[in-house]
Chain A
Amino acid sequence: MLNLVQNEFVKIFSVLRSYIGFVLVAVLMPVILWGYGLGAQHMTLDRMGSELTNNFLIVGNVANGFTAAYFIMNFFYIHIPFLIVLAGGDIFAGESARGTFRLYATRPVSRPAIFLAKVIGANIYTILLMLLVAVMSLGLGVLWHGGGDMLVFQDGILILSQSQAWLRFLLAYGLAFYNMMLVTAVAIFFSVIVRNAVGPVVGAMAVIIFSFAITGLPLEIFDKIRPFIFTTYFDTWKYAFYEPIDWQLIRQGVGVVSVYMLIFLGVALFIFRKKDILT
């Protein structure tokens, strides 16, 4: 299995588009952190409102690497799925498009083993991308802007101490990675049913955009279906920063995401096992 996973890993990184996400994160994060450094203190105090700041003496500031990484997570969790699907979408369909599947499937390895290796390979790509996001936002952010107490939005403003912040980020990145595993599963699902490399990427993106639209548009007509849409739970990582941590909402989010993940991967495996490989 280890060799199979290694093969998949090599294949993922032999495709140029797999690097797009890494390059984007590596370039974008420093730019955001640079911009944050220019206007963060002003922005933070503005958000607190003059009614609060007028009545208090304020010492120190929350414009630091932790708060920067939190702001980055707040907007980036919607966009990172589009980078994740690039690898997952290619993992089966790319083989079909290149015509290597028939040779691969003639080896004495079961299809579930091939499937599992590809799922693990795609998820390694996902975790590497998430790790880069963490390193470039939190790691670089703390190096650049220093540490300290961080600002969090929870029914207003909540200040978390530096000692709490590290653990909260660990949990938040863990939850974000788990959600991105679902994105990978969606991409794998499309990759199994389509034979060209572009289709799964576009298909997975379409599903995610559609789901985000239902989740994000404040229209009453979507209120009843919103709880059943998986992207509704993509912000579960936010609860890691709540005080106290909202484990109930985290469990709910992880539960729904797990169910969807099993459905997408289960159906994908079923299709893959039954599939005639003709290319």
Chain B
Amino acid sequence: MSKLLIGLLLALGWSALVSAQEISNDDLLDLMRRNFARIEDYEVDMEVSVDLPVLRIPLKKIHYYYKAPDKSKIEARGFAMVPKEGITPFVQFLQEDSLDIRLEGRERYNDRDVYLVKVNNVQAADDSTKGDTIDLKLWVDVSSGIIYKGIVRNDDADFITALFNYEFVDGYVWLPVRTELEIEFPPEVRNLQMLGKDPVSAKKFRDSIKGRADRIRGTVVLKFSNYRLNRGLSDKIFEDESAKTAQ
């Protein structure tokens, strides 16, 4: 028992030591913000495929514009849905002034040194969540500060797991070339599958999901190409209606 206690204390002490030695919270936040802060504007072509059990959108080509600090716009022929966390890896969340950020340790992730970072009580990005907060767990590259993996947690459950692959655009900034998001929804979302069913099929469906508490899981994949970085995008691009929709 005493050995166990000593071991536990040593582990805690080591963890605290590592945190203290590695990097301060402010420096960590600076590191994570640094990469994206180099960007004045960019545009990129994207392919999005949404494969959720309750929502399927075949491969969709879209064009994305961004201008610092907070202008963005998506252009698509027809209808498109793009996960908010997929395009700019958690950048929006990291802009907040008072973040409850904590270094949890350092580890190897896909042969790279990463900081394991927890960000607690982040204000959700939109008004629709009525002031709900989320927690983030991020795998952050030790030298570049880019995020390779992120888990968004809400209501005691992980609901987005995001994996990011990057390219070093123009030898200047890291931007994603492929983002894969595994998104989980609460069981109630399964009710969307009732849409359009006749009464008989609806009853069979209701019977089949009765008592099921498992969450619904699906995948969204975004592929990026043709980055055009810091070309001086005009503000006019962001002024039309679709820009408002996309922001």
In whole angstroms, what is the CA distance A122 to B10 when docked? 90
Q: How large is the interface on B (under 10, 10 to 19, 20 to 34, 35 or more residues)?
A: 35 or more
Q: Are B192 and A48 in contact (CB under 8 A)?
A: yes
Question: Does more than half of chain A's interface fall in helix, strand or loop, or is it mixed?
Answer: mixed
Q: Which residues of B contact A160 (CB under 8 A)?
A: 58
Interface residues of A, Cβ cutoff 8 Å to B:
47-62, 74, 148-149, 152-162, 215-218, 226, 235, 238, 243
Measured between beta carbons, the chain A residues less than 8 angstroms from B198 are 215-216, 235
Number of contacts between A and B (CB, 8 Å)?
A: 117
- B193 at the binding interface (Cβ < 8 Å): yes
Contacts of A48 on B, CB cut-off 8 Å? 55, 192
**Are the CB atoms of B199 and A218 closer together than 8 Å?**
yes
**Is residue B34 within 8 Å, beta carbon to beta carbon, of the partner chain?**
no
Known: A153-B196, A216-B198. A59 touches B57 (CB 8 A): no
Closest to B160 in A: A55
Interface of B is mostly: mixed
Residues of B within 8 A of A47 (CB): 192, 195
B21 cross-chain contacts in A, Cβ below 8 A? none
- Sorted nearest first, the 5 A-B pairs with minimum C-beta distance are A153-B196, A156-B54, A149-B78, A218-B203, A149-B79
Chain A nearest CB from B235 CB (Å) reads 19
Q: Which residues of A contact B44 (CB under 8 A)?
A: none
- Which A residues are CB-close (under 8 A) to B81? 52, 56-59
| Residues in chain B near residue A53, CB distance under 8 A | 128
B108 to chain A minimum Cβ distance, whole angstroms, is: 30
Binding site for A on B (CB under 8 A): 52-58, 62, 74-84, 126, 128-129, 160, 183, 185-186, 188-189, 191-193, 195-200, 202-203, 242, 245-246
- With contacts A156-B192, A218-B202 taken as known, whether A54 is within 8 angstroms of B126 at the C-beta atoms is yes
Q: Are B82 and A57 in contact (CB under 8 A)?
A: yes
Q: Contact at A51–B84, with CB atoms within 8 Å?
A: no
A57–B74 touching, CB < 8 Å = yes
- Residue ID in chain B nearest A47 by CB atoms: B195
Contact of A54 with B195 in the complex, beta carbons under 8 Å? no
Question: A59 touching B80 by the CB < 8 A rule?
Answer: yes
Please tell me if the beta carbons of B189 and A153 are within 8 angstroms of each other in the complex.
Answer: no
